[in-house]
Structure 1
Amino acid sequence: MSRAGLDKKPREVAAMFDDVARRYDLTNTVLSFGQDRRWRALTRRALDLAPGERVLDLAAGSGVSTEEFARSGAWCVAADFSLGMLGVGRERGGLPLVAADALHLPFADESFDAVTISFGLRNLVDTALGLREMLRVVRPGGRLVVCEFSTPTWTPFRVVYLNYLMRALPAVARAVSSNPDAYVYLAESIREWPDQPALADRISVAGWRDVAWRNLTGGIVALHRARKPLP
């Protein structure tokens, strides 16, 4: 079984997600105590999609998030670099699925009205390049929504949460995941990830404007929103 390191070599990260693909969505629901469904719904609302708009769901995995966004009537494309995850998504049917490297997206400039990435930005070996690629494929005035693990805002809760990440999370993953060692990496990557203001700065430096965020579940997750500048 594969476990990626915090150097986030793309081939290792893709292989790790291939290993966990079959039970990935179930494991996430168990580990988040069902909060993952609420996070997806709130991400859809933050995108503020209109029927017929074109949306890129990056690091979409099996497409469970893409299905949620498509409820708005928008045309949604699920893109991921894990063929194992896309294989699971193919079983759902009805979703456009694209194998894609987030650092070299196979889409023309200004192809989408919005782009979103859920729990995938921190797995990129070059976050800045990934954010610039997302900017490239979105039309001027288009939107970005990043749903990602973040830093709980209440200190006592933050301490409990970090202990859960490093101790309880791998133990729970052993009961439900096909590759529990992968969740050790996931826990470590969450701990190393920047907090809400620091991620907002990264998004702004990449060229996005009007960056703001909303904390979910006490800051365990944050929704960062931004727009591509008009010419």
Structure 2
Amino acid sequence: GALNNGSSALNDGGALKDNDALNSDGAVGTVRNEKDSATVRNVGAIPLEMVKDLLPEYEGGPNFNIWIQQLRSAGKVFNLDHSALRAVMISKLKGSARVWLHARPLFITENIDSLVAEMQAVFAPTHNKLLLRKQFEARKWSVGETFQKYYNEKVLLSDPLNMDECELIDHIVEGMPDEQLRNQAYIQCYTTRVQLLQAFGRVELKRDSMQMPRTNVRCFNCNSFGHMAVACRKPKREVG
């Protein structure tokens, strides 16, 4: 049979142009090479893989609420639909959480909201407000972690407590075990938690800094060594 649009598909020598081929009807069609196909597939897969890399694994511990908030936040940033977010969630379940999932014969058909609600009932039962506040206050900045990690988890723990900005800032600062860093935060008088994060976000708490003697620091309120006036617990001395 005759070639459709043959004149445009043939080069001067009568051969087919690059990337062109005959289809089953004898018409000229463009052949997509494997490299192009792989590129198309990878473009859609990049966000999903990035979320999987960013999200930590969940093994059934008490930090379920923090983990699920991280999952939902990542889903919003990368604009993932419920099906994609559900796939990411299932891929990150390990340990007892994965055992629980596989014990459910119909888990593959459940939507993400149902799975989250059931997992929350198992791994993160509702606590009273007093217990939630104790957990919040017990979270301190730990040796070896950055301030940003401590800050993020402290803020997440504060969500159910409905704290105002000033109270939250005070608690975040009080959770800094290094006296010198804590005093610096008090002196700066930060009015927003964002300012606090910008100032200390990249600081990593070192064990040595907590063991350094403070004998070279003198309080101008009580004239004692070892602390600054802003942290002095004695009555404020009148000026003059």
Pairwise same-fold verdict (TM > 0.5): no
Provide the TM-score with structure 1 as the length reference: 0.22
Relative to its length, the structure with more helix (as a share) is: 2
Provide the TM-score with structure 2 as the length reference: 0.21
Relative to its length, the structure with more strand (as a share) is: 1
